[in-house]
Structure 1
Amino acid sequence: MAVNNIVKRIQNIMRQDAGVNGDAQRIEQMTWMFFLKVYDTQEETWEYKAYREGKTYVSIIPEELRWRNWAVDEKDGKALTGDALLALVNDRLFPTLKNIEVTRETPRSKAIVKDVFEDINQYMKNGTLLRQVINVINEIEFDDAQDRHLFGDIYEGILKDLQSAGNAGEFYTPRALTDFIVEMLHPRLGEVFGDFTSGTGGFLTSALKYLEPQIKTAEDGKLYQNAVIGQEWKPLPYLLSITNLLLHDVEAPNIRHCDSLANKVTDFTGKDKVDVIGMNPPYGGSTEASVKSNFPMEMRSSETADLFMVLIMYRLKAGGRAGVIVPDGFLFGTDGAKLAIKTKMLKDFNLHTVIRLPGSIFSPYTSIATNILFFDNEKAEDAPEGYSTKGTWFYRLDMPEGYKHFSKTKSMKLEHCNPIKEWWNDRKEIIVDDGNEKSRYFSVEELIANDCNFDLCKFPKDEEEILPPAELLADYYKKRKALDHEIDKTLAEIQRILGIELPQE
Structure 2
Amino acid sequence: MLTDTNLKSKVDQLWDKLWTGGLSNPMDAIEQFSFLLFLKRLDEAEDLRERQAKRRKQEDYQPQIPLEMRWRHWTQMKADNALSHIKNKVFPWLKEMGNPENQEETNGMDNSENQEEANENKSSFSQYMQTAEFKINKSSLLIEACKAIDEMKISEQNQDVQGDLYEYLLSKLSIAGRNGQFRTPRHIIQMMVEMVEPKPTDRIGDLAAGTCGFPVNAYQYILEKHTSPEILYDDKGQKQLVGNMLSPEEAEFLQTQALTAYDNDSGMTMLRIGSMNLMLHGIEHPRFFYKDTLSKYFDDKQTLDLVLMNPPFKGAVDPGDAHPTLAGKSKKSELLFLHLILRVLDMGGRCAVIVPDGVLFGSSKAHVEIRKKIIEENRLDGVVSMPSGVFRPYAGVSTAVLLFTRGGTTDRIWFYDMEHDGFSLDDKRQPVAENDIPDILNCWRHRFDAEFTTQNEERLAELKMQIAPLKAKRLLLLKEINRLTFENAVAPADDEPTRIALEADNQLLAQLHEQMTPLQAEINQLNRQFWVSKVQVKGNKYDLSASRYRQIEQDEEFYDSPQVTMKRLLNLEEVMAAEVREMEGLLE
Paired position in structure 1 for 2:170: 162
Paired position in structure 2 for 1:358: 387
> Counterparts of 2:281 and 2:156 in 1: how far apart (Å)?
9
- What letter matches 2:440 in structure 1? I
> Counterparts of 2:152 and 2:121 in 1: how far apart (Å)?
26
User: Structure 1's 257 and 269: CA in aligned 2 closer, same or farther, altered over 3 A?
Assistant: same
CA RMSD of aligned residues (A): 4.6
- What letter matches 1:450 in structure 2? N
2:437 aligned with 1:417: yes
- What letter matches 1:284 in structure 2? K
Is the radius of gyration larger for structure 1 or structure 2?
2
SS in 1 for 2:261: strand
Q: CA deviation at 1:248?
A: 1.0
Paired position in structure 2 for 1:27: 30
SS in 2 for 1:291: coil
Contact 1:194 1:274 in 2 (8 A): yes
User: Structure 1's 322 and 13: CA in aligned 2 closer, same or farther, altered over 3 A?
Assistant: same
User: Deviation string for 1:313-363 (max 9, x for gaps)?
Assistant: 111121111111100111111212222211211122100211111011011
Paired position in structure 1 for 2:81: 79
Q: CA deviation at 1:166?
A: 2.6
- What letter matches 1:239 in structure 2? R
SS in 1 for 2:401: strand
> Counterparts of 1:76 and 1:296 in 2: how far apart (Å)?
57
Q: CA deviation at 1:137?
A: 5.7
Aligned residue pair count:
420
Paired position in structure 1 for 2:535: 445
User: Structure 1's 439 and 114: CA in aligned 2 closer, same or farther, altered over 3 A?
Assistant: closer
Paired position in structure 1 for 2:307: 277
- What letter matches 2:300 in structure 1? F
**Identical columns (%):** 22
2:288 aligned with 1:259: no
Q: CA deviation at 1:246?
A: 0.7
> Counterparts of 2:406 and 2:433 in 1: how far apart (Å)?
30
Contact 2:34 2:273 in 1 (8 A): yes
User: Deviation string for 1:291-316 (max 9, x for gaps)?
Assistant: 335334552x1111111111111111
Contact 1:359 1:367 in 2 (8 A): yes
Contact 1:162 1:168 in 2 (8 A): yes
Q: CA deviation at 1:42?
A: 9.0
2:347 aligned with 1:318: yes
User: Deviation string for 1:40-84 (max 9, x for gaps)?
Assistant: 999999xxxxxxxxxxxxx9xxx9xx9569x92553676154xx7
2:376 aligned with 1:376: no
Q: CA deviation at 1:126?
A: 3.9
2:282 aligned with 1:249: yes
Q: CA deviation at 1:371?
A: 0.4
- What letter matches 1:368 in structure 2? V
Contact 1:4 1:153 in 2 (8 A): no
User: Structure 1's 32 and 259: CA in aligned 2 closer, same or farther, altered over 3 A?
Assistant: farther
> Counterparts of 1:171 and 1:404 in 2: how far apart (Å)?
18
User: Deviation string for 1:420-443 (max 9, x for gaps)?
Assistant: 223322467999999xx8444332
Which of 271, 291, 302 pairs up with 2:321? Answer: 291
Paired position in structure 1 for 2:261: 230
Contact 1:361 1:411 in 2 (8 A): no
> Counterparts of 1:209 and 1:407 in 2: how far apart (Å)?
29
TM-score, normalised with respect to structure 2: 0.60
Paired position in structure 2 for 1:115: 128
Contact 1:397 1:419 in 2 (8 A): no
> Counterparts of 1:191 and 1:368 in 2: how far apart (Å)?
32
User: Structure 1's 318 and 412: CA in aligned 2 closer, same or farther, altered over 3 A?
Assistant: farther
- What letter matches 1:396 in structure 2? D
Paired position in structure 2 for 1:181: 192
User: Structure 1's 207 and 149: CA in aligned 2 closer, same or farther, altered over 3 A?
Assistant: farther
Paired position in structure 2 for 1:205: 216
Paired position in structure 2 for 1:466: none
Q: CA deviation at 1:151?
A: 8.3
- What letter matches 1:228 in structure 2? L
2:51 aligned with 1:16: no
> Counterparts of 1:413 and 1:32 in 2: how far apart (Å)?
36
2:272 aligned with 1:239: yes
For structure 2, the 5+ residue unaligned runs are: 1-5, 50-64, 98-102, 108-116, 227-242, 448-452, 465-519, 551-588
> Counterparts of 2:432 and 2:319 in 1: how far apart (Å)?
37
- What letter matches 1:72 in structure 2? W
SS in 1 for 2:388: coil
SS in 2 for 1:319: strand
Paired position in structure 1 for 2:513: none
> Counterparts of 1:94 and 1:203 in 2: how far apart (Å)?
24
User: Structure 1's 393 and 256: CA in aligned 2 closer, same or farther, altered over 3 A?
Assistant: same
Q: CA deviation at 1:458?
A: 5.3
Which of 112, 122, 140 pairs up with 1:128? Answer: 140
Q: Which moves more between the two structures, 156-165 or 275-284? A: 156-165
User: Structure 1's 441 and 256: CA in aligned 2 closer, same or farther, altered over 3 A?
Assistant: same
- What letter matches 1:32 in structure 2? F
TM-score, normalised with respect to structure 1: 0.69
- What letter matches 2:292 in structure 1? D
- What letter matches 1:129 in structure 2? L
User: Structure 1's 18 and 296: CA in aligned 2 closer, same or farther, altered over 3 A?
Assistant: closer
- What letter matches 1:247 in structure 2? L
Q: CA deviation at 1:411?
A: 5.4
User: Structure 1's 236 and 32: CA in aligned 2 closer, same or farther, altered over 3 A?
Assistant: same
